[in-house]
Structure 1
Amino acid sequence: MKRILLVEDEYLEREALKMILSSKAQQYTIIGEVDNGMDAIEFVKEHEVDIIFMDIKMPKLGGMEASRRIKEINPAIAIIIITAYNDFELAQSAIKYNIDDYLLKPTRPKLIYEALENIVSKISYKNILKQDSNPTDIKEKLKRNFLQGDYIKAKENLKELHHTKFQSAEEAHTILKDILITLSSIANGFGIDVDKQLQEEVKRRLKNIMSQEQYLQILDLIFEEIFQVIIEEKRVKYPKEMDYALQYIEKKLTHNLTLEKVATYMNISPHYFSKLFKAQVGINFVDYITQRKINQAKEMITTTDHSLCSIAYALGFNEANYFSKVFKKTTGLTPSKYREQFKETQNETNKYLQRATPQIYGKWIV
Structure 2
Amino acid sequence: MIVTTANDDFDIVRHMLSLKVDDYLLKPVKQSILSDTIRKTLLVDEQGAVATREQRQTISDLMGGCDYPGWHTWLFGILDAACAQPMSDNDGAKRLTDVLELLLQHLAGLSDKYIPCRQKITDLIHSIHQHGLGVGRYWPVMVGLFNLSHAIFEQLFKSASGSMDFVARARFHIEKNLLNNMTLDDIAAEAFVSPCYLSRAFKKSTGSGFSSYITSRKINIARSLLQYSDLKVNTIALELSWQDANYFCRIFKKETGIAPSDYRRLASPEAG
- Normalized against structure 2, the TM-score is what? 0.60
2:155 aligned with 1:243: no
**Alpha-carbon displacement from aligned partner over 1:85-123 (angstroms, at most 9, x marks no partner):** xxxxxxxxxxxxxxxxxxxxxxxxxxxxxxxxxxxxxxx
Which residue does the alignment assign to 2:66? Answer: 149
Q: CA deviation at 1:267?
A: 0.8
Shift of 1:209: 11
What do residues 145-194 of structure 1 show as CA deviations (whole Å, max 9, x unaligned)? 122211122223322443347869999776643421312444x2xx8465
What residue is the counterpart of 1:292 in the other structure?
A: 217
- What residue is the counterpart of 1:255 in the other structure? 180
Give the whole-Å Cα distance in 2 for the aligned partners of 1:300 and 1:316: 14
Determine helix, strand or coil for the equivalent of 1:134: helix
Which has a greater percent of helix? Answer: 2
Q: Structure 1 unaligned segments of length 5 or more: list them.
A: 1-132, 351-366
The alpha-carbon deviation at position 285 of structure 1 amounts to 1.4
- Please give the per-residue CA displacement for 1:49-98, whole angstroms capped at 9, x wherever unaligned: xxxxxxxxxxxxxxxxxxxxxxxxxxxxxxxxxxxxxxxxxxxxxxxxxx
Summarize the Cα distance change of 1:250–1:174 in structure 2 as closer, same or farther, 3 Å threshold.
Answer: closer
Change in Cα spacing, 1:169 to 1:152, as seen in structure 2 (3 Å) is: closer
Relative distance call for 1:185 and 1:248 in structure 2 (3 A) is: farther
Q: What is the identity, as a one-letter code, of the residue corresponding to 2:129?
A: S
1:310-329 correspondence runs (5 A): 310-329=235-254
Alpha-carbon distance in structure 1 between the residues aligned to 2:58 and 2:184: 31
In structure 1, the residue matched to 2:149 is: 223
| Distance in 1 separating the partners of 2:93 and 2:260 | 36
Could you tell me how far apart the structure 1 residues matched to 2:225 and 2:93 are? 27
Contact 1:173 1:209 in 2 (8 A): no
Aligned residues: 208
**Which of 179, 187, 208 is matched with 2:103 structurally?**
179
Alignment check: 8 A CA contact 2:226 2:268 kept: no
| Alignment partner, residue 256 of structure 2 | 331
Q: Please tell me whether residue 269 in structure 1 is matched to residue 194 in structure 2.
A: yes
How far apart are 1:225 and its partner, in Å? Answer: 0.9
Shift of 1:250: 1.7
The one-character-per-residue Cα deviations of 1:209-237 (angstroms, maximum 9, x if unpaired) are 982878x9576643321213434x46356
Whether the aligned pair in 2 keeps the contact of 1:138 and 1:161 (CA below 8 Å) is: no
Could you tell me whether the CA contact under 8 Å between 1:229 and 1:235 is conserved in 2? Answer: no
Deviation string for 1:7-60 (max 9, x for gaps)?
xxxxxxxxxxxxxxxxxxxxxxxxxxxxxxxxxxxxxxxxxxxxxxxxxxxxxx
Q: CA 1:239 to 1:204, structure 2 compared with 1: closer, same or farther past 3 Å?
A: closer
Work out whether 1:211 is the aligned partner of 2:211: no
Distance 1:156 1:238, change over 3 A: farther
Residues 255 and 229 of structure 1: is their aligned pair in 2 closer, same or farther, counting only changes over 3 Å? Answer: farther
Question: Higher RCO, 1 or 2 (CA under 8 Å, sep at least 6)?
Answer: 2
Let me know the Cα RMSD of the aligned residues.
4.0
Alpha-carbon distance in structure 2 between the residues aligned to 1:201 and 1:256: 25
> Does residue 138 of structure 1 match 2:138?
no
In 2, Cα distance between the equivalents of 1:283 and 1:254? 20
Deviation at 1:276, TM superposition (A): 1.6
The corresponding residue for 2:15 is: none
Structure with greater strand percent: 1
Q: 1:159 pairs with 58, 66, 76, which one?
A: 76
